[in-house]
Chain A
Amino acid sequence: MELRKTETYSVQQMILEKKSKKKINMEKVIPKLLFITAAISVFTTIGIILTLIFETFIFFDRVSIVEFFTEAKWLPFASAPSYGIMPLIVGTLKITVIAAVVAVPIGLATAIFLSEYASEKTRRIIKPILEVLAGIPTIVYGFFALTFVTPVLRDLFPSLDMFNALSPGIVVGIMIMPMIASLSEDALVSVPKSIREGAYALGATKLETTIKVVLPAAISGIVASIVLALSRAIGETMIVSVAGGSTPNMSMDVTSSIQTMTAYIVQVSSGDAGYGTTIYYSIYAVGMTLFVFTLVMNLLAQFISRKFREEY
């Protein structure tokens, strides 16, 4: 071998030397470090849940759990307080349903347009706008609801209260719409081109291909995006605090003032309910309920997406 004769060093030798010099075995240390960072989020979650559970138990020592779920009045500040969470749940659901009615059709239509119909140029304009929409602080949305959407709606429906469910519901819908659009678009785009070609080759039109092949193929991603967006709507706080009012009630009327679970927590946290009072502990019980709601939503999303999964 020509090479060995002329060179004065051996590559193998150098590799061996380098190996022997290494003091810390990175291959073993790094995975442990990574595990610790991953564990931080797990411990934080467990900590939050434990706090919630602990404080919630204190609350249920003072107020019976049956009353909490069956009483139809939420009047913690009354001289004869009543702790029935139903009005807060109804308020939250009103917001969520209105938001869904706004966000699901618009978001899905946007996703279909972007992935199937828009030209590259159009997509390049619309996607950043969606991202900007998703990045607006929710307090800004809140004031948008209160100072713009509500007055416009009151021009249309003069009977609308200044604080109501409709306006923040619509604005929460606008807020979560980009999330549905963007995640659903990802799901649609990831449907392989070959599957679309298969449909075209059978004489399917673009619309038939989109609705009967591409949408079903992406359904798990779409459902996941909707559920994720709705759990954000359930947990949304600022918009409903600013524009929704603070009147918990059970009515299905969307034109009058409401209160959601989140808005109640804000009201108490920013007010002067002293530490240790029943009102203070009530925010943990409400928080716990909220947590269970979103947890159930996420489990539901997983179940649905597994059931409808179409792999490719």
Chain B
Amino acid sequence: MNMTLTREKESPAIEIDNVGSAALTEKVYETSNLNLWYGENHALKNINLDMHQNEVTAIIGPSGCGKSTYIKTLNRMIELVPDVKTTGQIKYRNRNILDQSYKVEDLRTQVGMVFQKPNPFPKSIYENVVYGPKIHGIKNKKILDEIVEKSLKGAAIWDEVKDRLHENAYGLSGGQQQRLCIARCLAIEPDVILMDEPTSALDPISTLKIEELVQELKKDFSIIIVTHNMQQAARISDRTAFFLNGEVIEYSDTNTIFSNPNDKRTEDYITGRFG
């Protein structure tokens, strides 16, 4: 069996150092001229955004600005909503994912997602983590055990649950459940992790733990996070996109957005004048 458990990623030609030279890293997602309608409602308007490898990209904006809609198009979860129409392109690793010939299951195997409310399966902690590997055909018990340990460690929850792996996941606290969901996502070793307001249902301490985790995870994964919380975006992201009424108002280095925004509306939003 030729399965390595340590993650091997094609390393980009150029060494990455955090923010400054970020522009040089490889692109994971390239969105061009994306438009999306819910029935008649034009929810995303001409979006152009590139996302980079081993970075945390934050998407901020007031409620109803389209940020959740956008992140859900990145793994096509948006298709679960009836009557959605899109135009334009989203290239993931140079392939247009909106092309219906792109198998959505293949995409979602590469691009994991963590949701607003923790949504573990009503199964044991162990079964939650191995669910992904199992449906993708990994049955070897020893390997599954290793995946469980590795994923739970990766999600910084191993020490808390290692003695009760076979207990129901619903016995965990909200913050632990959310980290379990992250572990479940890590178990299939995705390339990108999408996080849709992952801390909005959590208390401050659990939120802090997740934020620290995100910093840790970006070494191995590319992370795109939607957040309602501007301080959170400022703390953890390398780049920030500001959405308003379905449009990208501004997208640049997080430092720039928060210290020296270009657009008046961005400034108004981050200084708390609306939203």
Q: Which residues of A contact B (CB under 8 A)?
A: 192, 194-195, 197-205, 208, 212-213, 216-217, 310-312
Contact = CB atoms under 8 A, between A and B. Distances in A.
B181 A198 contact: yes
Contacts of A204: 105, 131-132, 135
What are the 9 tightest A-B residue pairs by CB atom distance, in nearest-first order? Answer: A310-B122, A203-B109, A194-B119, A201-B113, A203-B108, A202-B132, A198-B119, A203-B105, A312-B122
Nearest to A217: B122
A200 B80 contact: yes
24 contacts: A192-B119, A194-B115, A197-B77, A197-B80, A197-B115, A198-B115, A198-B119, A198-B120, A199-B135, A200-B80, A201-B108, A201-B112, A201-B115, A201-B185, A202-B112, A203-B106, A203-B136, A204-B105, A204-B135, A205-B105, A212-B134, A217-B121, A217-B122, A310-B123
Which label, helix, strand, loop or mixed, suits the secondary structure of the A interface?
helix
Q: Which of A194, A199, A203, A204 has the most CB of B within 10 A?
A: A203
Nearest to A216: B123
Interface in B79-115: 80, 105-109, 112-113, 115
Nearest to B171: A311
B75 A201 contact: yes
B168 A310 contact: yes
Interface in B121-155: 121-123, 131-132, 134-136
Given A192-B119, A205-B105, A217-B122, 8 more contacts: A194-B119, A200-B108, A201-B75, A201-B108, A201-B113, A201-B185, A202-B132, A203-B106
Given A310-B168, A311-B170, A199 B131 contact: yes
A312 B170 CA distance: 7
A216 B169 CA distance: 14
Nearest to B127: A216
A156 B67 CA distance: 63
A203 B115 contact: no
Nearest to A196: B80
Contacts of A310: 122-123, 168
A217 B109 CA distance: 23
Contacts of B75: 201
Contacts, number: 71
Nearest to A119: B82
Contacts of A197: 77, 80, 115, 119
A192 B119 CA distance: 9
**Which of A202, A204, A205, A310 has the most chain B CB atoms inside 10 A of its CB?**
A202
B184 interface: yes
Contacts of B157: none
Contacts of A208: 135
B119 A195 contact: yes
Given A208-B135, A310-B168, A311-B170, A201 B121 contact: no
B117 interface: yes
B188 interface: yes
A212 B115 contact: no
Which of B106, B115, B135, B188: most chain A CB closer than 10 A?
B135
Contacts of B119: 192, 194-195, 197-198
B131 A194 contact: no
Nearest to A310: B122
Contact of A202 (B106, B168, B188): B188
Nearest to A191: B122
Nearest to A192: B119
A50 B65 CA distance: 68
Contacts of B117: 194
A198 B184 contact: yes
Nearest to A219: B122
B68 to A, nearest CB: 12
Contacts of A194: 115, 117, 119
Interface string B163-205: 0000010100000000001001100100000000000000000
